[in-house]
Structure 1
């Protein structure tokens, strides 16, 4: 069933992406993980503690970051199986772990900007998806930067989560993202 969830999720996410209104209303699972990590870091990682103590708390934090969300996702998926549309709802939830639509839109924006606005607009568009200073990039380097970002993020935002959803359902995808 996990493979079916994966294919449905990929198809739904390709069409819908992660709706901006939903992001504005509740955020995104990746931002939730970030908040959880920040919370645990503030509570458990004190500079005044010994290295051994900090390592022990780091292991606890890792277990909380991975196991709690994965267990919750496993429970949600198990509960959804009792509903007639449970498979579809699970697939819709799993779309939040994928980012193929937004990735394509961001890379396409670089191509469009280069084509219609020239190098300066291309640099602005590529700066939204890469960490390097775009002011030093010529047209070919802007294209390479966009393609490199596409390749890296395709692995992290599409291939790996789809694989882990296929292996472990919603819980597998959540554990990967954590």
Structure 2
């Protein structure tokens, strides 16, 4: 049943996304998790405590952030499965944990902004999807940032929640999304969150390990099907560069995307005025990446996403046949 739910959720969300009216009316699971995380951060993360105590409170906070929503989701899923068409309602609810449609829209908006409004508009558009300092980005850097975000968020926002939905049903998907949201909010190496967010950051690294590798494989396979993409280059880039990335997971999809498109991604980046050094993914050098490369990356992403949906579809057929 979890595999069927995941397949249906992927197919529905790809077409419908998360309706803006629904967001305006009730928000989104990420915003709900965010309120819980902010509350626990304010109440438990005290600057007067030692790092050891703050780390301990961070572990406790992570347990609350993950287990409470997961328990509610398990109760709801169990209730739904006992009624007619409950499996379909579950699949519809699970679409809120995926971001296939919105990811493509936000990344495409960067290319559109660059083409219609120039660099300033491109910086504004890319600032909505990346955390780096937009005013320091030239046109090529804006394009690289958009492509990197596409690759990494394909893993974190699509493949990983689908993976955990398939493993643990609605509860598994909710647990993943809550943990991933915690990492994005408190899993930073800042004075405030270095200790308190330690557990959130380490746990997020662990739960994204399988999805990041699967994402890289999907991009490599998609490169075989997309005209102008280099599947061999994608495979070599993953093998050579993925483990050099400062993140144990982001390097896998980014290296695959870089190799498939013949670009260089990652490298040094500025966040809140602080330069972060990182290895380059791919062999494209620092050539002038353009908005056309963003659109090439989107084609690759869409094919890789269809391969993901097909994979779950195949598994459903195999399970039913067995």
- TM-score norm. by structure 1 comes to 0.90
Cα offset, 1:159, TM superposition: 0.8
Task: Indicate the residue corresponding to 1:97 in structure 2.
Answer: 97
CA-to-aligned-CA distance 1:13-44 (integer Å, 9 cap, x gap): 11111111111111111111111112122333
Q: 1:120 offset after TM fit, Å?
A: 2.8
| CA deviation map 1:146-178 (0-9, x unaligned) | 1001111111110100000000000000111x9
Between stretches 112-121 and 16-25, larger displacement belongs to 112-121
**Take 1:115 and 1:53, find their aligned partners in 2: how far apart are those partners?**
51
In the alignment, the residues of structure 1 paired with residue 52 and residue 117 of structure 2 have an alpha-carbon distance, to the nearest angstrom, of 55
Deviation at 1:55, TM superposition (A): 4.4
> How much does 1:113 deviate?
1.6
Q: Please, which runs of 5 or more residues in structure 2 have no aligned partner? A: 177-321
Supply the distance in 2 between the matched residues of 1:107 and 1:39 (Cα, whole angstroms).
Answer: 31
Higher fraction of helix: 1
Compute the displacement of 1:49 (Å).
4.7
Q: Deviations over 1:48-105 (max 9, x none)?
A: 4555554444333222111111111011111101121111110111111111111100
Give the secondary structure class of the aligned counterpart of 1:132: coil
Farther-moved stretch of structure 1 (50-59 vs 108-117): 50-59
Deviations 1:106-141 (A, max 9, x none): 011111122222333222211221222333333322
Report the more deviating stretch, 23-32 or 126-135. Answer: 126-135
Structure with higher RCO (Cα < 8 A, 6+ apart)? 1
In structure 2, relative to structure 1, the CA distance for the partners of 1:72 and 1:114 (3 Å cut) is same
> TM-score scaled to structure 2, two decimals?
0.51
Q: What secondary structure does 1:83 align onto? A: coil
Q: Give the root-mean-square deviation of aligned CA atoms.
A: 3.1
42-51 or 16-25: bigger deviation: 42-51
Q: CA 1:116/1:70 → structure 2, altered by over 3 Å: closer, same or farther?
A: same
Q: Distance in 2 between matches of 1:125 and 1:134?
A: 9
> Unaligned regions of 5+ residues in structure 1, if any?
none
